[in-house]
Amino acid sequence: MTTQKAAVGPLEIAYETFGDRADPPVLLVMGLGAQLIAWHDEFVAQLAGRGHFVVRYDNRDVGESTHLHDARQPDVAAAMGGDFSSAAYLLSDMAGDAAGLLDALDLDSAHVIGASMGGMIVQQFAIDHPQRTRSLTSIMSTPDPSVSPPTEAAMGALLRPPASSRQEVVDSAPEMWRLIGSPGFAHDIPWIQTIAGRGYDRGYDPTGVMRQLLAIQASPDRRPGLAELGVPTLVIHGEDDPLVPLPGGQATADAVPDAKLVTFAGMGHDLPQELWPAILDEISEVVSRGEQARG
């Protein structure tokens, strides 16, 4: 697969496409610090194989998309205390990147699917661009961080000092997965380490990740906006997620009229391969509802 780049305002957004362009478009948005490769190739292939034109991309500040090296230095400690003045952008700006990518691809609308911070971005996308949202799928996410604070161990993993070498990134990845991943399912350690190494090679930028974290913290509660949505909505959440606990998914589903909430026992803050068939079934169903709603 070939990674391409699209001009989105002053940024370049790196993206990849899969499947037949004539099929309903699905936009995949990844979470904090995660690159497009964090959407497992086989998961994406199966999604495309179900009759979807799939687009996955790197958010700003990660991977091969533009890194805002000239932005103000993020002050995470101040943000934890409620001072967001060092935030370089908000989730609404990141949702704007998604809209700009659709423009570059000449897509008037899409089914938007986001995981973790990506779920927050697609929630904001649906609020800001309802006419461009065919359906919304929010996975292991929340409408506001205060709804579902992480466990102490998960927060510690998130804020640990950044690795100083490629080897350290690769070696530490399984431990991060152990802390936040699914306790009820096996972890694919070779894949985890491969993706960690590829991520380092594609654009390792701990400061950029902190800018993304501040965007999460500085963005307003999305529940009022979600309450106004009229698009088919699916919320997927693990019942054993330590990073974004289950109340985050419940609050998202409660906020959106007629949203469907699907939870999985043993699922943490990842997408276990054993659950892919069920997850893909749910996504296909909400995409179908979105297509039917368009007439």
In this predicted structure, the answer to whether residue 177 has a pLDDT above a threshold of 90 is yes
Mean pLDDT value of segment 13-25: 98
Residue 111 has what pLDDT? 98
187-232 pLDDT, tens digit per residue, is 999 999 999 999 999 999 999 999 999 999 999 999 999 999 999 9
Quickly list DSSP for 224-282.
HHHTT--S-EEEEEETT-SSS-THHHHHHHHHSTT-EEEEETT--SS--GGGHHHHHHH
CATH of the domain at 142: 3.40.50.1820
Instruction: Kindly state whether residue 100 falls inside one of the protein's structural domains.
Output: yes
The amino acid occupying position 110 is A
50-109 pLDDT, tens digit per residue, is 999 999 999 999 999 999 999 999 998 898 899 999 999 999 999 999 999 999 999 999
Instruction: Kindly state whether residue 159 falls inside one of the protein's structural domains.
Output: no
Q: How far apart are CA 187 and CA 177, in angstroms?
A: 8
Please tell me the total count of domains within the chain.
1
Q: Where do the DSSP E strands lie in the chain?
A: 4-8, 11-18, 25-29, 53-57, 110-115, 133-139, 233-238, 260-264
Give the pLDDT band (50/70/90) at residue 294.
Answer: confident
Residue 33 has what pLDDT? 96
Q: In which domain, by residue range, is 50 found?
A: 4-151+206-293
Instruction: Kindly state whether residue 216 falls inside one of the protein's structural domains.
Output: yes
- For residue 12, give every residue at least 6 positions away whose Cβ sits within 8 Å of its Cβ, in sequence order, or none: 5, 6, 65, 66
Other Cβ atoms within 10 Å of 164 Cβ, number:
9
Q: How far apart are CA 221 and CA 147, in angstroms?
A: 10
Instruction: Kindly state whether residue 87 falls inside one of the protein's structural domains.
Output: yes
φ/ψ of residue 261, rounded to 5: -105, 125
Q: Shortest CA distance to 15 belongs to which of 68, 66, 55? A: 55
Give the pLDDT band (50/70/90) at residue 156.
Answer: confident
Residue 210 has what pLDDT? 95
Mean pLDDT value of segment 245-273: 98
Q: Shortest CA distance to 34 belongs to which of 235, 239, 205, 217? A: 205
In this predicted structure, the answer to whether residue 241 has a pLDDT above a threshold of 80 is yes
| CA angle, 157 then 206 then 33, to 5° | 70
Instruction: Kindly state whether residue 194 falls inside one of the protein's structural domains.
Output: no
Q: How far apart are CA 123 and CA 98, in angstroms?
A: 12
Instruction: Kindly state whether residue 236 falls inside one of the protein's structural domains.
Output: yes
In this predicted structure, the answer to whether residue 295 has a pLDDT above a threshold of 80 is no
Instruction: Kindly state whether residue 144 falls inside one of the protein's structural domains.
Output: yes
Instruction: Kindly state whether residue 188 falls inside one of the protein's structural domains.
Output: no
In this predicted structure, the answer to whether residue 1 has a pLDDT above a threshold of 80 is no
